[in-house]
Amino acid sequence: MEKILPIAQLGAPVIRAIARPVTDLGAKETQEFIDELMLTCNDAKGMGISAPQVYRSERIFIMSSQPNERYPHAPMMKPIAVIEPEIIWHSQEMEKDWDGCLSLPGLRALVPRYREIEVSYMNREGEQVKAKYEGFIARLFQHEYDHLNGKVFIDRVESTLDVVMEREYQRMMMEKV
């Protein structure tokens, strides 16, 4: 039975740990875990979630971009499992835009990230994939990739003035429309 997993919050040691390599991707248990991670991401209305965020220190994350009330302008993308990812190239250009995180609920911040990246990873079938992302999806990938290395988005802010509370962020977005 698939279940929704509890989400670790900042302060849990697993959020700050370097995640371990995936040793048995083909195992039924690992595949079920990936399904549960996807279910948990969807239930929490996240755009992505990493294994450490559900107390499992392994180099796996989900990207699942679709517009919802937390991210009304997110692009549509079929949810994918990303295993053992690497960023193999990035643009010099960085862009500051909003990050949020299921492990730091209530906070948003303007975070500088590479505008374009080239990545390689394994899909859940164990096949090597190469991809190029830009903008929102590139940002999402870099955010989730950071989780595998014990980093969270507030580590990357240029100034504490770029950190805001969710409620004020929502108010700001409402006024923009």
Task: Give the residues lining the site for Zn ion (CB under 5 A).
Answer: 101
Q: Based on CB atoms, which residue is closest to Zn ion, 33 or 52?
A: 52
Q: Which residue is nearest to Zn ion (CB)?
A: 101
Burial class (CB in 10 A: 0-12, 13-18, 19+), 62: buried
Q: Please say if 144 is a catalytic residue.
A: yes
Terminal alpha carbon distance of the chain? 42
Strand residues in 59-104 grouped as ranges (E): 60-63, 80-90, 94-100
Task: Give Cβ neighbours of residue 1 (< 8 Å, ≥ 6 apart).
Answer: none
CB of 146 to Zn ion, least distance (A): 8
The closest of 47, 88, 33, 57 to 150, measured between CA atoms, is 57
Q: Based on CB atoms, which residue is closest to Zn ion, 83 or 101?
A: 101
Q: Based on CB atoms, which residue is closest to Zn ion, 1 or 49?
A: 49
CB of 50 to Zn ion, least distance (A): 7
Given 2, 36, 144, 166, the catalytic residue: 144
CB of 167 to Zn ion, least distance (A): 19
Which residues carry out catalysis?
A: 144
